[in-house]
Structure 1
Amino acid sequence: MTTLLATRGLSKHFAGLRAVEGVDFDLPEGEVRALIGPNGAGKTTLVSMICGRISPSEGQVIFEGRDITALPAHKRIMLGMAYTFQITSVFDGLSVGENVALAARRRLKGAKVTPAVDDALARVGLLDRKAQEAGDLSYGHQRLLEIAMGLAQSPRLLILDEPTQGLAEGEIAEFKTLIRELAGKTTILLIEHNMSVVMELADRITVLNFGEVLAEGTPDEIHANGAVQTAYLGGDHASA
């Protein structure tokens, strides 16, 4: 498989705190990869360096074989990365459709925007709310709107940070269906606290602990890994 995203020796230190330390990470094209670990394990810091939201202290980020470590976040979007926190919060005063259109215009122009908006909203089950003000949506629906904003960019790599947080059971089931539809066509990096979601959707799982990769493998391999059980799955950690 072709590697779409890689990191080499990626590290981030904050005033002596080693949030991420020496992470080597390879994500093949078309894979659904889950990133899990205890609170404070460095997951969001790692993903923020991948997206260009923060600069690493050391190491490299490589996308499609190109070193993009020094590239700003907006240029990484143009290369085909979409990140729910980068597209970030919804504009409350704009309609649901207008929010998605803003995201779509990062990569599309003219008559191509509206079909992309409608397709993205239909995929997350929000097409019937297209004209509604985004600020009137429930928190769970705002999370789905953020995902639609990512999908509208037709990303090569879609990074979702805690996408099921705040979703009702039915919405989580719809989210799982959506990811299964995208699998193979879009490479997905998923930070997720809901272990049933992780175990059902991920092709492979990377476990971070104290800023370092503790383990990597299939859901079955991770579930059976003693070190992971001790650090995370078997402990009292309620969040990934």
Structure 2
Amino acid sequence: MLLSTRGLSKHFDGLQAVTDVDFDLPEGEVRALIGPNGAGKTTLVSMICGRLAPSSGSVHFEGQDITRLPAHKRVCLGIAYTFQITSVFPRLTARENVALAARRHLPKAEVTDAVENALDRVGLQDRIDEDAGNLSYGHQRLLETAMGFVQKPRLLILDEPTQGLADSEIERFKSLINELRQTTTILLIEHNMSVVMELADRVTVLNFGECLAEGTPQEIHENPKVQAAYLGTG
């Protein structure tokens, strides 16, 4: 198992954000994590990537207990995380942003080609020398996705990657995920259910910080508890 959590919980000043989550993600899978706003999705992945320390429970990556490992060391192990709110460097160009991410993990001789390839794959090749702060919100999301996968991670966590994208850009994003899934395990937090249904091998549903259901996209779509809590039917 590439990633596992056991009893993972987080509370903030008495508010229980995540409660006793057991989560297993095998290598090579595209897993969608869905749930209503405030369900605990970002809190959960923040504990997985090391941005938040859990109140209790454990996180294992490739069999290694990484619960107390700082975020930068988890990056070195092969975990890349793109934020729900963009975290690009606005005064650097798109090229420079991706190059910063690439230099941490690639030999110097490979960086230039890797950066240009990454920006081409997300559709930003014509904005390669534009300051990131001048890009639209959707294009900043795409830039951050490029910054994630250029690191060649073992696990790529994408938090709301299609938010702010036009329909044509969403189609390009789906094609990109289908390319990346050949070499990268992907955990996708996503509200766009058509994206989830098309891309995910399996779906995990959080509700009030707890795991409500898990299964194939079709199983989740037909689950009465999920319909009542999230999909708006039932």
TM-score by length of 2: 0.97
Aligned equivalent of 1:90:
88
Give the SS at the match of 1:188. Answer: strand
CA distance in 2, matches of 1:132, 1:20: 39
Aligned equivalent of 1:185:
183
Which of 213, 224, 227 aligns to 1:226? It is: 224
Give the SS at the match of 2:54. Answer: coil
CA distance in 1, matches of 2:86, 2:161: 12
Give the SS at the match of 1:228. Answer: helix
Q: Which runs of 4+ in 1 moved over 3 A?
A: none
Which of 51, 62, 78 aligns to 2:76? It is: 78
Give the SS at the match of 2:2. Answer: strand
CA distance in 1, matches of 2:34, 2:74: 23
CA gap of 1:19–1:87, structure 2 versus 1, over 3 A, is closer
**Which amino acid in structure 1 is aligned with residue 204 of structure 2?**
T
* 1:88 CA drift (Å): 5.0
CA distance in 1, matches of 2:160, 2:49: 16
Q: How does 1:1-240 map to 2 (within 5 A)?
A: 3-85=1-83, 88-234=86-232
| 144-153 or 111-120: bigger deviation | 111-120
CA distance in 1, matches of 2:203, 2:165: 22
- Count of residue correspondences: 234
Give the SS at the match of 2:195. Answer: helix
CA gap of 1:88–1:72, structure 2 versus 1, over 3 A, is farther
**Which amino acid in structure 2 is aligned with residue 124 of structure 1?**
V
Superposition RMSD in Å: 1.5
* 1:184 CA drift (Å): 3.1
Question: 8 Å contact 1:33–1:188 — kept in the other structure?
Answer: yes
CA distance in 1, matches of 2:149, 2:84: 13
* 1:128 CA drift (Å): 2.3
Give the SS at the match of 2:98. Answer: helix
| 118-127 or 4-13: bigger deviation | 118-127
Long gaps (5+) in structure 1 = none
Question: 8 Å contact 1:36–1:208 — kept in the other structure?
Answer: yes
Question: 8 Å contact 2:5–2:60 — kept in the other structure?
Answer: yes
CA distance in 2, matches of 1:235, 1:105: 47
CA distance in 1, matches of 2:9, 2:181: 29
Question: What are the Cα deviations for residues 109-136 of structure 1, in whole angstroms up to 9, with x where unaligned?
Answer: 3212112111211111112221111122
Question: 8 Å contact 2:213–2:220 — kept in the other structure?
Answer: yes
CA distance in 2, matches of 1:100, 1:86: 18
**Which amino acid in structure 1 is aligned with residue 67 of structure 2?**
T
TM-score by length of 1: 0.94
**Which amino acid in structure 1 is aligned with residue 207 of structure 2?**
N
Give the SS at the match of 1:47. Answer: helix
Identity of aligned residues (%): 76
